[in-house]
Amino acid sequence: MSSSTDRALDILELLSQRPRGPRELGEDLEVHRSTIVRLLHSMEERGYVRRLGDGLWGIGFQLVALGQRTLDSIDIREVARPHLAALSEEMGHTIHVAALVGADVVYVDKIEGLGSVKMQSRVGAKAFAHTAGVAKAVLAFAPKAVQEEAIASCTFERFTHTTITDRDSLLEEFDRIRNRGWAVDDGEAEDYINCIAVPIFGMHGAVRGGMSVTAVRSLAPVSVLERQVSKVQEVAAAISSDLGHQAAPIAR
């Protein structure tokens, strides 16, 4: 790597900590002030640094935009996979990860549990907004317009006696999920299967997707799964951090 490139990267790293002037940058990097000024002007033309006044320089908006595009391009499945594998091995249940795609919540990864019963869910399929715990966990934290679009396309088909079958009840469920930070599927699609689910966040607190722990009711009813919520939230928080979120909310 050329010395100019090295110095330009050093400048960006220093300015990312706090604004600085050319003299201070030169002293920190042991480079003549004229060289620092030349590099700053070159980077300013590309939008990577900007003048802040009082002789100080800071990170430019182009670098911020580049970072945002990079984070947006990160595949939630790729980021989540190692976390899921460890959680599945520890808990022994089926783990799902879903991503928010428009107003749909779509399964993007699945690790089967240790039991002989295989879940019917499949990667690439849409999670039902009114039954799937992971869909409810995601949509509860989604923008209002996304929620409304998801509800408008929801059939509210009844599958079991616990299925949510109307708009108002689903909205009330979203409120409960936001207040406590996690969702359940209490046998709402298949009466012998239940799950707990939590959201996954990205930059600026935007919900990116969610993850769920699903089990056969006879092996682990909702009451048992609920005692594992904090562990699942910790994993979701780690995934959220990898996606650029600073502090994923965890209900206490």
Where b means 16+ CB within 10 Å and e means fewer, 4-32 reads eeebbebbbebbeeebbbbebbbeebebe
Q: Could you give the CA distance from residue 12 to residue 249 in angstroms, rounded to a whole number?
A: 30
pLDDT, mean of residues 11-17: 91
Cβ 111 vs Cβ 88: under 8 Å: yes
What is the per-residue pLDDT for 119?
62
User: Which DSSP category does 20 fall into?
Assistant: B
At 117 the pLDDT is 54
Query: Token digits for 135?
Result: 């869909």
Q: Domains for the chain: give ranges and CATH numbers.
A: 3-69 (1.10.10.10), 74-242 (3.30.450.40)
Name the residue among 130, 125, 195 with its Cα closest to residue 160: 130
**Which residue has better confidence, 203 or 14?**
14
pLDDT tens per residue, range 104-122: 898 888 888 776 456 667 7
| pLDDT tens sequence across 179-206 | 999 999 999 999 898 999 999 998 778 8
What is the number of other CB atoms lying within 10 angstroms of the CB of residue 195? 28
* pLDDT computed for residue 158 by the predictor: 95
pTM of structure: 0.68
Question: Is the pLDDT reported for residue 74 higher than 60?
Answer: no
DSSP state of 115: S
Confidence of residue 23 (pLDDT cuts 50, 70, 90): very high
- Distance, in Å, from the CA atom of 214 to the CA atom of 172, rounded to the nearest integer, reads 23
